[in-house]
């Protein structure tokens, strides 16, 4: 007699994970196409990939409407939880997946590996599914499963160019580092289970001494810190970014980073709000955040290659976002986090696809060698100025409001508590924003003032990637010009 109830419960739960099912289905369909050797498997892979991604987008938007009206929903006996925050994270992950597909489907960026496009897309959709599940996961087993679904495809994709020695070496090192971190996360979960007697990651009995769970939580948080490149777990990022295919570097800097940052934000913030001695967590997060900012920005100053610069920039931006974890609940840090990461991912991903259009014109990744090849290329330099201005946090671009909301949350938190850590964090962000100005703007500076040594003139080629870059830059400008409180209200979780 209990079977119909179980069936109804399963059907109801499956309805709320339709976006994830779309991604898994896309993975299966592409696998079948590859196995049965469809004649035009490249075209079929592209069509199925676009259908799968946009189907996941439609179902995710439907989820948003449901959850905003009914509240957070626990699924599969509370092993995953569907809330507004996790849905917004999924939408940002879809944005990263969209840019990755655009770049990977561009013939000029496939090299001799176009025939392996189905394998690439299968791993991409598996990572997207893991990125969807990670911010929703509440059960330890589900957290570890989602964590590995994000990690394992990344190890394979970094070494996708098997004949490239640097790519293979980066993949092997990334795999070794990631395996050690995964083992550590599993060990931390086992320690937490011993203390709480539950596989629920966020279940803490009232009788439990908060100090007893600090070590297990630190070990678990290490895994998320590794995925995001937070200091001192950043060591893999520069080498992996440089050694991986360009589309894979984009994927790691958007999908993997967003999922990791969301999980880091959820877990560390839970610890911060739960522990009675908040000063310990406050000081610890402040140190990690500030060191990551300074290390990332100072390291980026020395970079002469694009992906190296983006890797160190990613470390610095992880430091900025980590500072939001310790902000007061009254400042709605979740909304600021979502707003900041949205425009960071948009700006960062656009850099990858804009460079892909320049690669066709003879530009390599050596930044000091970038020169304009015609007067019409000043438009290209203008696009780079928009992207670099947004990442720096200058007006009138969207990144300015993101940085301002971040500083405002930290300053108002200091007004409420008067902890010195908030002042240190606030000052560090201002100083590092000034530092970042020097390395971000050396790209448009090279383009504008390096005209004396031009490349051969080529005809303008308005490809799909170039048009997508223009649209993204327009969004950054429009979002920056019109300040209203709607952006934060849109991301409000209350």
- The per-residue pLDDT for range 97-128, each reduced to its tens digit, is 899 888 888 755 555 566 778 888 888 999 99
Q: Residue 130: inside a domain, yes or no?
A: no
pLDDT at 281 over 80: no
Q: Residue 255: inside a domain, yes or no?
A: no
The tally of domains found in the chain comes to 1
pLDDT grade for 2, boundaries at 50, 70 and 90: very low
Dig out the tokens for 306 from the structure.
């694009």
Q: Residue 300: inside a domain, yes or no?
A: no
Predicted local distance difference test score (pLDDT) of residue 3: 44
Q: Residue 256: inside a domain, yes or no?
A: no
Q: Residue 122: inside a domain, yes or no?
A: no
Q: Residue 428: inside a domain, yes or no?
A: yes
Higher pLDDT, 453 or 218: 218
d(CA 388, CA 311): 15
- Region 75-100: what's the mean pLDDT? 87
Partners of residue 137 on adjacent β-strands? 80
Predicted local distance difference test score (pLDDT) of residue 38: 67
pLDDT at 487 over 80: no
Cis status, amide bond into 365, omega within 30 of 0: no
Q: Residue 435: inside a domain, yes or no?
A: yes
Segment among 77-91, 261-275, 310-324 with least mean pLDDT: 261-275
Single out the residue of 64, 122, 116 nearest to residue 88, CA to CA.
64
Range of the domain at 476: 336-494
Predicted local distance difference test score (pLDDT) of residue 340: 87
Dig out the tokens for 330 from the structure.
């009254």
Q: Residue 191: inside a domain, yes or no?
A: no
pLDDT at 377 over 70: no
């Amino acid at each position: 007699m209990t079977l119909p109830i179980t069936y109804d419960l399963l059907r109801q739960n499956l309805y709320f994970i339709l976006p994830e099912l779309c991604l898994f289905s896309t993975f299966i369909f592409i696998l079948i196409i590859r196995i049965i050797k469809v004649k035009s498997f490249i075209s079929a892979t592209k069509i199925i990939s676009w259908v799968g991604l946009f189907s996941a987008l439609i179902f995710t938007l439907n989820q948003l409407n449901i959850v905003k009206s009914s509240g957070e929903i626990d699924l599969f006996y509370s092993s995953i939880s569907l809330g507004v925050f996790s849905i917004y994270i999924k939408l940002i992950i879809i944005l990263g997946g969209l840019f990755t597909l655009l770049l990977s489907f561009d013939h000029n960026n496939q090299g001799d590996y176009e025939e392996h496009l189905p394998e690439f897309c299968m791993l991409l959709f598996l990572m997207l599914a893991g990125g969807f599940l990670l911010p929703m996961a509440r059960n330890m087993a589900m957290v570890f499963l989602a964590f590995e679904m994000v990690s394992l495809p990344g190890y394979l994709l970094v070494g996708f160019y098997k004949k490239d020695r640097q790519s293979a070496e980066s993949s092997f090192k990334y795999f070794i580092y990631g395996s050690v971190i995964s083992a550590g996360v599993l060990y931390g979960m086992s320690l937490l289970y011993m203390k709480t007697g539950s596989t629920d990651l966020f279940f803490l009995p009232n009788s439990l001494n908060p100090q007893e769970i600090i070590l297990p939580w630190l070990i678990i948080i290490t895994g998320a810190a590794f995925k995001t490149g937070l200091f001192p777990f950043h060591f893999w990022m520069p080498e992996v970014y440089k050694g991986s295919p360009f589309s894979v570097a984009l994927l790691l800097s958007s999908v993997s980073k967003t999922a990791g940052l969301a999980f880091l934000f959820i877990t560390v913030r839970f610890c911060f709000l739960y522990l009675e001695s908040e000063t310990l967590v406050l000081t610890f997060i402040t140190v990690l955040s500030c060191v990551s900012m300074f290390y990332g920005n100072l390291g980026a100053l020395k970079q002469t290659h694009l992906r190296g610069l983006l890797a160190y920039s990613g470390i610095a931006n992880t430091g900025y976002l980590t500072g939001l974890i310790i902000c007061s609940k009254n400042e709605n840090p979740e909304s600021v986090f979502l707003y900041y990461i949205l425009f960071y991912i948009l700006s960062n991903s656009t850099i990858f696809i804009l460079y892909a259009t320049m690669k066709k014109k003879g530009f390599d990744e050596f930044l000091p060698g970038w020169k304009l090849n015609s007067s019409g290329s000043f438009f290209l330099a203008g696009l780079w100025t928009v992207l670099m201005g947004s990442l720096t946090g200058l007006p009138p671009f969207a990144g300015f409001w993101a940085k301002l909301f971040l500083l405002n949350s930290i300053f108002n938190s200091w007004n409420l508590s008067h902890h010195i850590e908030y002042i240190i964090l606030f000052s560090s962000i201002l100083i590092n924003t000034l530092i970042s100005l020097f390395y971000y703007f050396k790209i448009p500076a090279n383009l504008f003032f390096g005209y004396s040594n031009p490349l051969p003139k080529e005809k303008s080629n308005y490809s799909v990637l170039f048009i997508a870059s223009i649209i993204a830059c327009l969004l950054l400008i429009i979002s920056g010009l019109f300040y209203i409180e709607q952006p934060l209200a849109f991301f409000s979780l209350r």
